[in-house]
Structure 1
Amino acid sequence: MQQIGEKKRMITFSWRRCYEFGLSPTQFQLSKILNDRQIDQLLKKNADLTNVAIPLINNLSPLLTQPGHLASLADRNGTIIYTKGDTAFEKSAKKLQMQVGANWLEKERGTNAIGVALREKNSICIYGDQHFYVNAHYLSCSAAPIFSPSGEVIGVINISGEKDLFHPHNHVLAQLIADSIHHQLMLRHVEDEKKLAEIEIDYITNKLITVPYLSLNAKHRIIRANDAARRELGKDLTGEKLKDKHYFFIESIPSANRNLHRFAALKRTEHSAINRELYTFSDIQGVCPSIMQAKKVGRKAATTDIPILIIGETGTGKELFAQSIHTSSLRSPHPFVAVNCSAIPESLIESELFGYVGGAFTGASKEGSMGKFEAAQNGTVFLDEIGDMSLRSQASLLRALQEKEITPVGSTTSKQINVRVVAATNKNLLQEIEAGHFRADLYYRLKGIQITLPPLRKRNDLIDLAYYFLNDNGYQNKTMSKEAEERILIHDWPGNMRELMNVLFEAAVLSEENTIHAHDLRIDHFPVEDSSEIAPLKDVEKETIKRYVRLANGNMSLAAELLDISRTTLYRKINEYKIELR
């Protein structure tokens, strides 16, 4: 039951507002009543409310039509749109214009249950002389606001009666009716959301997924199929058990309900056989926090169609990540097409990307040629070394990405494209933009999600990585000496993964025993041509200390021994150079 203090506050503030409106308790003014056409328009406008509320009010007719009582339904603006009650009382109530088409906001009717409930968004009971107008002092009214599924007030239910016949259950009944209407609106909203979700699923599975797609229950019986599946497998698929499972990619759909199990099945295509040879995230090795974070971002990015920009030095695995993103996406049954932008002459880049028609230029094939974008239709285009593309080619690429269409060289007809773009570079594109070598608009078009790959010199799992490469390539019997491991940790690895693998495989072949020693690691050291590029001694010492501490797994005594200095000297240099050890 409503607290007396709260009710008193609402009524007191309502009276204050009435005086501010310029109303007088003894001067009741009749206001304009809506005509039939206006009422019909109002009912249509509030159809969501009335379709639920009116049947409910009619079902409660025995309670609401007792002698001396009247139930009213008002919209969010305080206009009564439906009434149900005792016929005799309804006639007397019309003298106060308590009827369909009348507005009962405070500024029109003074303090009353409908107006206060709408203003306060709270239920209220106004009894006798608590009404502002003297004419209404013979009434007792209980009203409760009706909330939409989103929490907005969309109307109010009011039960009025002669005050001598007042019963506390009227207030409870009004609240129950309002709550019941809200709950039914919620159920309808959930049903509408369900229908919308089904439409969404149909759109995705039929428009975006162009290969046969099936939704399966726990027993692998078909419960939904897209158009491509019905065309290929037959129209009457529902309830049938999926046969020839080896032709499908089948994945479990996670569910919070243990009793519900769903599986998604995608038909393998001619491209699938090729794409099964592509890398996946499970092929990306390492426990370094930076590489783990990159994989985490990559997996999330794969579930979207947002463009991805991969930043990393040469040999850090940019194409490995690009392929993994593709194979983890809904586009995996379709082609993955890689383009090395730095390897294509500027004069041929447009024909390479967008194709050309026969005779488009000297040396062109008579039959013409399909471009990389068209070859990757519904799949992924990987634009490697995007930072090396000329400004002219960048403009053509930007236009294709913005318009989602290409025009083959020599043609006047455009073609629609539906591809996911993953770009990669070893350059700092912001610096390239500053220098005028890269378009800012293309950069922001490509940089939907950015993934930065760490170089080997900044990873703390080098030795684990080295053993993985040896084991994965048939050298499981090979181990490395302590000196060999130390040499691997100290080297900068400018060629990153490629350089590390080449050095390891050469050492594995040339080593005369099962242990790879430091002298077996034939590491290239590039000569420094410009003395201005030589790092200061302080920086060299800092990097050397960090590497030896990492080699010793944080054991300072061991690190000092490897460096051939005392622990005191080691700590002094760490403090002097402000070296951060992680």
Structure 2
Amino acid sequence: MAYEIETRDGVARLRQARELFLTDRKLPEDLPAWLSEAWRRSCFAELDVTRDHVPAVPVSLETPLVRAATPVLAKLAGDLAGLGAALVLGDRHARVVGCWADEEAVGAHLARIGTRLGTDLSERSTGTNGISHVLDTGGPFVVGGPEHLFELYQNTVCAGAPVTDPVTRKVIGAVAVVCELDAPLRVLHAITTTATGAIERELVHAASAHEHRLLEAYLRAGPGRYPIAVLDGRTRLVSDAAAALLRPRDIDTLESYAIEAARDGTLPTTELILDDGVKVHLHPAIPGDSGAVLVVVDPPQPRAERRRARLSLFADAGLSGSSPAWRSLERSVARASTRPMLLLGEPGVGKADVARAVLGDPVVLDAADDDSWLAEVRETLARPAVLLCHVERLRRSLAARLAALLAEEHSARVIATLTTGSHSACAEVLRTGWSPVEILVPSLRERTADIPELARRFGGGVHLTQDARVTLQRHDWPGNLAELKAVMASAGAEAGGPTVSARHLPGRLRSTPAHPRLTELEKVERSAISDALLTANGNRVQAATLLGIGRATLYRKLRRYGLE
């Protein structure tokens, strides 16, 4: 007998299977594979299926998707009066950006299941549902009743279909018909596909208008007089003169700045020197549209080429970077010359790789908080180059003795690495007793322009499609380079070939919002939480006590700051 929500027997079997899984973590062998996998993911994520509310987050309603969908779904909701169904619009992160219900009873049902503007319907929040599953698979789907693990949804059916951007061909959202379990399910598919088709036609009209404005901006800039390009992350208008000076890789880099500008509301820089010494100037292409960038290219100058040659140290060592943050790091390292350095940065940013690029083939010692390690350091100072990793592990007294030892006369070039937010007292001791040049290695979220090239390198030279590049660049990378390496290893295995697209990337990058940019106060709080976890050796209960907050609050902040 099949597990079908269209029949009473099928619903009863699904309820039994759900209860068995929640009680004993056992799954019937004949349960559909997609459902078994979805329930296992929810179990792994420790989803609280008995929670009586669904979290909501701030959402923007000033998006092309919402503008295109609102007239379509408002009219369709009126046409559905009497069917007992509501229409819900989700963005690409599975957050609700629109609800339409023309019947009081239907509105009451939405209220009971916590569906409102901003509701987070990602799988991480509520388990599998008709919107999160559609966004994850890219195809229409119905999830109903006990197919949901989430208790609030046991009497709800959600039939969803994806909305595809007509220009980029990427899934940018989903439309769902939401109703009670006894609704005529076969009708729901037709409703959602009709709705998404109409929305996509509206998007075509909007895209055409936007592209017209891009063309106007391009022509106004004078492509016959100057080497220029206009980019917005999906449309490229490049003059012949600019194409002769820019390589495809340069265009990808510049396009990443447009994506970053759209995300942050401002251009990250107004001037950039590319790998071949070509200088470009960046300006907003369209007033009020921060995601469209006008690029004006200067012909390469000999001086710029010589400058780039002096900064080729990292490139020679296989380290990639053209972002302003990475250029700044290169300049700081070059200015330090042969002086000792203390490289600071978040976990996984590549501090040791930078140090090896500077030192060549150093003796590497991982810090250990005991006297025998200090004696080992003394012996290695007779060597030409020494790299001391993780000096944040040292207690204050041993850090003071290390600083005094390094300040003595010796022949070694010494670089030490220290993880920020882990043990600030050690940094202060080294700063005063040793006086190294302190250089901050930027996090990956500060290097948006570098992400595609790093991803290609970590993926063994794979080709990234446009949607994959955009997805990678919009993620906040709390795990930095280490996280990117793991993602590309997984994506390469999923793709099984030389091309990686967005669908090969982990679902959390495609269907959950990236970690938001932090204010200065939030950065301090994140650092304090990291410090407490280090002091407590990873024990979250003890860390919460040290911080003076409850465990639930700590877990929420760990998710907020990407520290899970």
Give the TM-score normalised by structure 1: 0.33
The one of the two structures with greater contact order (alpha-carbon pairs below 8 A, sep at least 6) is: 2
Give the TM-score normalised by structure 2: 0.34
